[in-house]
Amino acid sequence: MMPDADVPGHLSSIRLPLIAGNWKMHLTNEQAKAYLGRFLPALNELTRGQGGSTKRRTADVVLCPAFTALRTVIELTLDSPVRVGAQNVHQDPEGAFTGEVSVPMLVELGVSSVILGHSERRQHFSETDGALQRKVPAVLEAGLMPILCVGETEDEREAGETERKLRQQVQVDLAQVEDGLLPFVVIAYEPIWAIGTGKTATPEQAQEAIAFVRALVQGFDKEAGNQVRILYGGSCTPDNAGQFVALPDIDGSLVGGASLKAESFAAIVEAARG
């Protein structure tokens, strides 16, 4: 991802498709090296295949390894279009917070983005909307791209509570973002029932929820709502990723399981290029 000339750090104000791979607690340094040994040539092949074609778009590609593999992945992707993200960060710049990592620490490493509020962090590590309300501006103000995850459980969907849940998460988590930085937020709509289950949202469900999320951001600032990138996440594969990114409000994918195999993640990037 090339930063825009008028925009700080790694932020982008253009709705270029974005494909982010969330490795979760997988891949050691050695495994990450082996992965990149296959992924980078596959990506290169795609870019070359794109030469001269006016039809195909470029896409931003972000890999989000565990903290321990960040340095390795950053070093090995320096000469490539791949950017590297973390999977979480603390809201304070420093302090007595054993086991946590701060924004300045990530900036020093050369990280470009941070996944925030993933449902696994909300569910297993008690991540709250109150903390996210501080994390999102902290990340943006450092010039890093937040990928804020939102989404409903299966019970909430069945009870007709999807919009209420999305409204609560978007409105609280983005409440402290300055207007000028709002267009640079990336949101990932990830229905919790679709994460790691092999059960995706239908294109209609994804488009409807994502259009609703976009309208919520437009509620803060109309133009920012038009500019934010909103991704779909939840059991994305090379076979289904293209159908989501083709929809009017969907700007890419956040990919878990299928990002762990270099070849399938490269195929998802290819699908996003249309």
Interface with ligand PGA (CB under 6 A): 22, 190, 195-196, 233-236, 254-258
DSSP 129-161: HHHHHHHHHHHHHTTPEEEEEE---HHHHHTT-
Q: Which of 63, 150, 74, 67 is nearest to 110 (CA)?
A: 74
* Structure tokens belonging to residue 182: 């709002």
Closest CB to ligand PGA among residues 111, 181: 111
Closest CB to ligand PGA among residues 224, 255: 255
Closest CB to ligand PGA among residues 137, 256: 256
8 Å CB contact between 22 and 248 = no
Least distance to ligand PGA, CB of residue 132, Å: 16
What's the CA gap between 96 and 182, in Å, rounded?
A: 30
* Helix, strand or coil, per DSSP, at residue 180: helix
DSSP 49-101: HTTT-SSPPP-EEEEE--GGGHHHHHHHHTTSSEEEEES---SSSSSS-TT--
8 Å CB contact between 250 and 210 = yes
Closest CB to ligand PGA among residues 84, 255: 255
Closest CB to ligand PGA among residues 196, 274: 196
Nearby residues of 178 by Cβ (< 8 Å), 6 or more positions away:
137
What's the CA gap between 103 and 205, in Å, rounded?
A: 34
Least distance to ligand PGA, CB of residue 200, Å: 8
Nearby residues of 234 by Cβ (< 8 Å), 6 or more positions away:
151, 190, 191, 193, 194, 195, 197, 199, 200, 201
DSSP state, residue 25: S
Closest CB to ligand PGA among residues 102, 200: 200
Least distance to ligand PGA, CB of residue 207, Å: 18
Least distance to ligand PGA, CB of residue 233, Å: 4
Residue positions annotated with a catalytic role: 118, 190
Least distance to ligand PGA, CB of residue 258, Å: 6
Residue nearest to ligand PGA (CB): 256
Least distance to ligand PGA, CB of residue 237, Å: 8
8 Å CB contact between 83 and 1 = yes
